[in-house]
Structure 1
Amino acid sequence: MYKVFVNELPLILTNKLSDTENGAYFMLNREAIGLAIKSLKKKKIEKAFIYHPNHEEILKKFTKEIPLIVAAGGVVTNTAGQVLFIYRNDKWDLPKGKLDKGESIEDCAVREVMEETGVKDLKIENFLRTTYHIFTNRGTHTLKQVHWYAMKTDYDGELKPEKKEGIHKVKWKGPNKIQKALQNSYMNIKILFEGD
């Protein structure tokens, strides 16, 4: 099962018909996917399902209909146990960005965190999870697949928001401030702090 967020509402790609019982069901074709996305964006439905019997094939077939952008980012913790957040589009977010051609996903995650925040000396500890969301890119629905890594740093220098990427603030946040920030964040970011 893949949970793809459309305006914070789930579009679930599943190979289990039983999953589709309590939500709107759509076929795995361009027209039906477009209708599902539109219905979620307009909040006509709270949850949509797309079924395909083969779990390995479902994402591949979905990305034949909706272009895919691969990105990577980090949940960065400093020596004080605080987590690094960025503020962009009036929401608290985590640093992430698009994979460059020929770049490894781990290198992309580290590069993007450095570029967007100014933080250096990053060490990847482990892979966390992959999140998915749909956004509109020049009028076309696009699926963004973000690979998230837990990172550590002992950097305590200046934080530099990457203004050209629309980032207004970069902040280290402790547990209480993290909870507050998550109230004004995205579902995909909240998931990273829930653990499963």
Structure 2
Amino acid sequence: MKTPKIAKHYQKIDAEHFDLKTVYHWVDKQPGTLFYVLCNNAKAFLKRIIKSNTLIEAAGGLVTNQHGEHLFIYRNDKWDLPKGKIEKKEKTKIAAVREVEEECGIKVNKLEQKICKTYHTYIYKGEVVLKKTHWFKMSYNGNAKLTPQLEEGITDVRWFKAEEVSTIVKNTFPSIIDVLEKEELITSREVLL
């Protein structure tokens, strides 16, 4: 068991009686509050959650251009990274590139290493689901006009310099913070508090 370093800013959720469907609705009614689950074995706990819920697998990318800027999309009133569901029998890396290209209207030049996996929950067809997203670094060397995929609810696609990422952090999802932290575009979750 490991309590978060900044636990004083978080509310603890009991792991023993944890039910994602119940907890999701309870947490959703407390915007701006941060939570953590303290358990003996995080991998076993996650396996239990995955087994008892619908899991949707997705892939996406953190794209960097030749000027060192990073590509973000604006969807559902939040800044996000391009990502989407992996199609049946599709390889994860292929899905990541396809989703970036579809959602942003560019052609990825290079798929690089995997960054991390993130998990988040949301309502899909009236049911609480768990989404596992595989994130990859990608490179783009071009000047094509960015085109948001409007049918996916994306209203803006934009390049941000590293020093501008703090604007994103103020209006994004915790799973995106995980990716940005892993890639050292932000150095601490303290920026969220």
* Structure 1 partner of 2:92: 105
Q: TM-score, normalised by structure 2?
A: 0.81
For the residue of structure 2 that corresponds to 1:23, the secondary structure is strand
- Residue 65 of structure 1 and its aligned partner are, at CA, apart by 1.5
Q: Retained in 2: the 8 A contact 1:77–1:83?
A: yes
Q: CA deviation at 1:28?
A: 5.9
Aligned to 2:114: 127
* Paired position in structure 1 for 2:37: 49
Residue 13 (structure 2) pairs with residue 24 (structure 1)? yes
Between the two proteins, what is the percent identity of the paired residues?
Answer: 34
Matches within 5 A, 1:30-109: 32-43=19-30, 46-49=34-37, 51=39, 53=41, 55=43, 57-109=44-96
Contact 1:71/1:97, CA 8 A, preserved across alignment: yes
Cα distance, 1:120 vs structure 2: 0.4
| Matched residues, number | 177
Segments of structure 1 that go 5 or more residues without pairing to the other structure are 1-15
**TM-score of the superposed pair, with normalisation by structure 1:** 0.80
**Alignment equivalent of 1:193, drawn from 150, 174, 180:** 180
Question: SS in structure 1 opposite 2:47?
Answer: helix
Q: CA RMSD in A?
A: 2.4
Contact 1:73 1:94 in 2 (8 A): yes
Q: 1:160 aligns with which of 136, 147, 153?
A: 147
Separation in 2, partners of 1:54, 1:75: 26
Equivalent AA in structure 2 for residue 26 of structure 1? A
5+ residue gaps, structure 2: 185-193
How far is the alpha carbon of 1:189 from its aligned partner? 1.1
The partner residue of 1:150 within 110, 119, 137 is 137
